[in-house]
């Protein structure tokens, strides 16, 4: 059977650029080379699509020197119409050559301009099959306000919240302070459209709110002020079912935080002593079944396809969805692959399954 050609898209313009690069390192090291040829397409912080070396070591997760896409002067050329799958590259000297036909794209981009439906829309315009969620699910999952709105409508519990822009906060400050106060303390302030806990602040007193909002607005034009839920942090992975079957949900993992902090960017990627990822989490059979039911319902509520990670707070009596990530952290140490590994699917097998789902997807 001939090999399939996979265009691996990574990097990107968002603040999660380095995490995407680290994910690329994981995928490049684990993808089954007997089945796939890989074209590594790195997107610089300026948005240039470049051909990168097929070298996992260049993009290895290193907290002291996080990987990035360097602009080597090459530029990727995309198919000229939806009747072609041919990609090209023009090198720094201006010489253009064909990279051949691409069978499927694997976008492992986090944050805006990658996880939010933009790259998915481009691939659909080109007629190139791709791994992961479609335009609608990606856009919904990226925007925490609209994710919560969709989940509430589907009967899935979420933390109480308000969403506010800088102009709203400025023009009717007393009203928005009153709405924020109704949520109690502490609260979390988050950018509406960002991931990896970038721009997130835990606010313990009202006089910390303005500074926290400024941090969130630096990432996005809308910020959520959200009630802090007291409970265990439980996460699970979701994969589409095959041939129209129901979504598949992994075993649960638990994030155990050291001290009084929260699972921020540093705890996720830079400081391995700040949190423990325990998988499988200790849940009763009934608790696990309820978590899996809610995760599947949340995935379907946004019209999900391919993959997602659903993050819960478990109060002991209720699972409350914190976030739904349509392109979850996918480095070998991330919770999504850890949960599937505990469920019997290795990291290389998970990559293979996602590619298969991408080729079969009807979004």
Q: Which pLDDT score is estimated for 259?
A: 61
pLDDT above 70: residue 264: no
Of 254, 256, 255, the residue nearest 288 (C-alpha): 254
Which backbone phi and psi does 5 adopt, to 5 degrees?
A: -100, 125
All CATH 3.30.470.20 domain ranges in the chain, comma separated:
140-157+230-360
Judged by average pLDDT, the poorest of 46-55, 269-278, 326-335 is: 269-278
User: Confidence class of residue 272 from pLDDT cuts 50, 70 and 90?
Assistant: low
For the chain, residues classed under CATH 3.40.50.20 are: 4-130
Q: What is the CA radius of gyration of the chain?
A: 20
Please work out, in degrees rounded to the nearest 5, the angle formed at the alpha carbon of residue 121 by the alpha carbons of 299 and 30: 65
- Percent of the chain scored above 70 by pLDDT? 95
Using pLDDT thresholds of 50, 70 and 90, give the confidence band for residue 331: confident
CATH 3.30.1490.20 domain extents, the chain: 161-227
pLDDT of residue 155: 96
Query: Residue 251, Cα to own-chain centre: how many angstroms?
Result: 19
pLDDT for the residue 329: 87
pLDDT at 243: 86
Cis-peptide into 186, omega within 30 deg = yes
Query: Of the candidates 106, 110, 92, which has an alpha carbon nearest to the alpha carbon of residue 50?
Result: 92
Judged against a pLDDT cut of 80, whether residue 267 lies above it is answered with no
Q: Is the pLDDT of residue 354 over 60?
A: yes
Whole-number Cα distances in Å, 128 to 122, 125, 199, 341:
9, 8, 33, 29
pLDDT of residue 137: 97
Whether the pLDDT of residue 263 is over 60: the answer is no
pLDDT value for 350: 97
Which CATH architecture is the domain 161-227 placed in?
2-Layer Sandwich (3.30)
Whether the per-residue pLDDT at 269 is higher than 70: the answer is no
Q: What is the pLDDT of residue 257?
A: 79
pLDDT for res 261: 56
Does the pLDDT at position 183 exceed 60?
Answer: yes
Contact 311, 235 (CB under 8 A): yes
Q: How far apart are CA 218 and CA 266, in angstroms?
A: 18
CATH number of the structural domain 4-130:
3.40.50.20
Q: Would strands 4-11 and 36-43 be described as parallel, antiparallel, or unpaired?
A: parallel
Mean pLDDT of 179-208: 92
Model pLDDT, residue 43: 98
Cβ count near 273 (within 10 Å) = 7
Which residue in this structure is represented by tokens 């603040």? 15
Query: Can you tell me which residue has the tokens 């009084």?
Result: 260
Mean pLDDT (whole number) for 295-301? 98
3-state secondary structure the chain: CCCEEEEEEEECCCCCHHHHHHHHHHHHHHCCCCCEEEEEEEECCCCCEEECCCCHHHHCCCCCCCCCCCCCCCEEECCCCCCCCEEEEECCCCCEEEEEECCEEEECCCCCCCCCCHHHHHHHHHCCCECCCCHHHHHHHHCHHHHHHHHHHCCCCECCEEEECHHHHHHCHHHHHHHHHCCCCCEEEEECCCCCCCCCEEECCHHHHHHHHHHHHCCCCCEEEEECCCCEEEEEEEECCHHHCCCEEEEEEEEEECCCCCCCHHHHHHCCCCEEEECCCCCCHHHHHHHHHHHHHHHHHCCCCCEEEEEEEECCCCEEEEEEECCCCCCCCCHHHHHHHHCCCCHHHHHHHHHHHHHHCCC
Does the pLDDT at position 262 exceed 90? Answer: no
CATH of domain 140-157+230-360: 3.30.470.20
Q: Report CA dihedral (186, 192, 194, 196) to the nearest 10 degrees.
A: 30
Least confident of 105-114, 222-231, 293-302, 326-335: 326-335
What is the pLDDT, as a whole number, of residue 61?
87
Report the 10 Å Cβ neighbour count for 211: 11
């Amino acid at each position: 059977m001939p090999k399939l050609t996979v265009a691996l898209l990574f990097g990107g313009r968002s603040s999660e650029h380095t995490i995407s690069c680290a994910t690329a390192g994981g995928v490049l090291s684990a993808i089954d080379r007997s089945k796939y040829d890989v074209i590594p397409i790195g997107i610089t912080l300026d948005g240039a699509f470049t051909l990168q070396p097929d070298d996992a070591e260049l993009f290895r997760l290193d907290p002291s020197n996080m990987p990035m896409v360097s602009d080597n002067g090459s530029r990727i050329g995309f198919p000229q119409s939806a009747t072609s799958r041919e990609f090209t590259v023009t090198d720094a000297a201006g010489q253009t050559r064909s990279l051949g036909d691409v069978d499927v794209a694997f976008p492992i981009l986090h944050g805006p301009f990658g996880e939010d439906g933009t790259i998915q829309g481009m691939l659909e315009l080109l007629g190139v099959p791709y791994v992961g969620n479609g335009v609608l699910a990606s856009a919904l999952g990226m925007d925490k306000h609209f994710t919560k709105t969709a989940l509430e409508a589907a009967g899935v519990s979420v933390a109480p919240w308000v969403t506010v822009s800088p102009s709203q906060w400025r023009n009717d400050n007393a009203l928005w302070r009153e709405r924020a106060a109704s949520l109690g303390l502490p609260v979390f302030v988050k950018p509406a459209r960002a991931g990896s806990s970038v721009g997130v602040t835990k606010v313990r007193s009202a006089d910390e709110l303005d500074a926290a909002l400024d941090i969130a607005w630096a990432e996005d034009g809308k910020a959520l002020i959200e009630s802090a839920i007291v409970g265990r942090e439980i996460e699970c992975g979701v994969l589409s079912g095959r041939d129209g079957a129901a979504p598949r949900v992994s075993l649960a993992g638990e994030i155990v935080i050291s001290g009084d902090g929260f699972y921020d960017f540093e705890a996720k990627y830079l400081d391995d002593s700040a949190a423990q990822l325990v998988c499988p989490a200790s849940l009763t059979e009934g608790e696990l079944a309820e978590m899996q039911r809610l995760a599947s319902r949340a995935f379907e509520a946004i019209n999900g396809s391919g993959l997602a990670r659903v993050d819960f707070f478990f109060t002991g009596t209720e699972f409350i969805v914190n976030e739904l990530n349509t392109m979850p952290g996918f480095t070998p140490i991330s919770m999504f692959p850890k949960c599937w590994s505990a469920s019997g699917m290795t990291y290389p097998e998970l990559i293979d399954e996602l590619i298969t789902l991408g080729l079969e997807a009807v979004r």
